[in-house]
Amino acid sequence: MTTLQLVNDTVDIGGTGQEPVTVFNRWGGERSVLFALDTTEKATISFDSLTRKYLWNGKDVKLLWYSKGIDEFAFDIVLTSKTAGNVIDMKMETSGLLFWPQHALTPEEIAQGIMQAEDVTDSIDIYHDSITPLHFSKEKAEKYKVGKLGQIKRILATDNTGKKTWCTQLKKNDRYQITIPFNWWLLAQPPITIDPDFGYKTAGNKYFQARDMIIGGSELNDQGTGTADSITAYVNSSVSSRKWKAAIYDTSGNLITNGDTPETTAGSTGDAWRTATYSVKPTVTNSVTYVLVHWGDAAPSGNWYVFYSEVAGTQYSQTLDYSAVSGVFPNPATFGTTGSRRTSIYCTFTLAAAGGNPWWYYNLRGN
């Protein structure tokens, strides 16, 4: 086995005996995803110092492993012949993870202004199955954020003549399949390269314009009573001076006491996790479901994109002119809801001390 060190995690290649095995590790190995070709064949793994790629050279299949930046890793499957057919079936071992296919946008979603990159369609977002609701330290809040491990990106096949086509992927139980469109496959000239790239982006990949929109998601607090420290959301801002705030509501639309943060600014442009910090900390109560939201001013013009994943969860939103009401959150709010969306937002809390115990920090993630 060869272990490759990434920025924050590792990838193990070659299995225990130079087999065509790839293991993506996350959170220090707490969770991992294993891909293994259905073969007993073994081959020596070599490293090309010029291309910075590792190679497993099998009889009919080759594997190439290489980094594609700080948040993406590729393991290309190269079919040197067409004997295997147009479906690549692999073993896939996981534990404690949830897999959520990201579908193409519907005409209704497109009309609503929702966007996603071309390679998001037919990708798979992967989330931790149990750690997302809360964490007991600020370090864990930063480590897990909304609990997203990463994503298997949309898969592209390329033949020896340079012709390309998108493939579909499917995880079912302990199997993982990549299907190359059959008509394309018939005419394809080997070698054929299939590229199931693995991305480590911790926010969702679907997004839309959210200026003058109070937007967020709900999450159950089931770990005790405490006080909120800050709310963090993943947002794209084209203007660093854009004003925004965050708040905590209950599911009936009532703003909790001291639930809104002071006004802050984006501080930078582009995609980023942005934090609004409480000066007067609101109390959150055990066994209550809260709605975590943020709200950006429409002025100046430009982008204020909110991000989400197509997974189990409910998104809450209300359109309201930020400047017209001087950024004062409505109480109550009149939220509309949309299912199958997990907004990229979380909130860091301080758990109330009991007896002589120390104070702990934990993270409550908004769906």
Q: Please give the torsion angle defined by the CA atoms of residues 65, 200, 211 and 303, in that order, rounded to the nearest 10 degrees.
A: -30
DSSP 333: -
List the domain boundaries for the chain. 2-199, 207-366
How far apart CA 210 and CA 307 sit, in angstroms, is 10
Is the per-residue pLDDT at 356 higher than 60?
no
Give the model's confidence band at 109: pLDDT under 50 very low, under 70 low, under 90 confident, else very high.
very high
- pLDDT: is 254 or 70 the higher one? 254
**How does residue 357 score in pLDDT terms, banded at 50, 70 and 90?**
very low
Please report, rounded to a whole number, the percentage of residues in the chain having pLDDT higher than 70.
Answer: 94
Per-residue pLDDT at 221 exceeds 80: no
- Please compute the mean of the pLDDT values over residues 93-97 and round it to a whole number: 95
Q: What is the largest CA-CA distance in the chain?
A: 72
> pLDDT class for 355, splitting at 50, 70, 90?
very low
The pLDDT score that the predictor gives to residue 362 is 41
Q: CA dihedral in degrees (255, 257, 259, 263; nearest 10)?
A: 110
pLDDT score for 132: 63
- Answer for the pair 292, 231: CB distance below 8 angstroms, yes or no: yes
pLDDT, mean of residues 300-315 = 95
Whole-number Cα distances in Å, 159 to 67, 79, 168, 195, 202: 22, 9, 16, 12, 32
Question: Considering only the top CATH level, what class is 2-199?
Answer: mainly beta
pLDDT of residue 2: 87
More confident residue, 258 or 290: 258
From start to end of 27-140, where are the E strands? Answer: 31-37, 45-48, 53-57, 61-67, 72-79, 87-94, 97-102, 123-128
Whether 360 shows a pLDDT value over 70: the answer reads no
Q: Are 53 and 65 in contact (CB under 8 A)?
A: yes
Answer yes or no: are the C-beta atoms of 261 and 293 closer than 8 Å.
no
Per-residue pLDDT band at 367 (split at 50, 70, 90):
very low
Token readout for 347 is: 């909130």
**DSSP class per residue in 281-327:** PPEE-TTEEEEEEEEE--PSSS-EEEEEESSS-EEEEEE--TGGGTT
Residue with tokens 């005996």: 17
d(CA 34, CA 14): 11
Segment 142-186, tens digit of pLDDT: 999 999 999 999 999 999 999 999 999 999 999 999 999 999 999
More confident: 223 or 304: 304
Q: Averaged over 245-260, what is the pLDDT? A: 96
Would the pTM count as exceeding 0.85? yes
Query: Average pLDDT of 128-132?
Result: 81
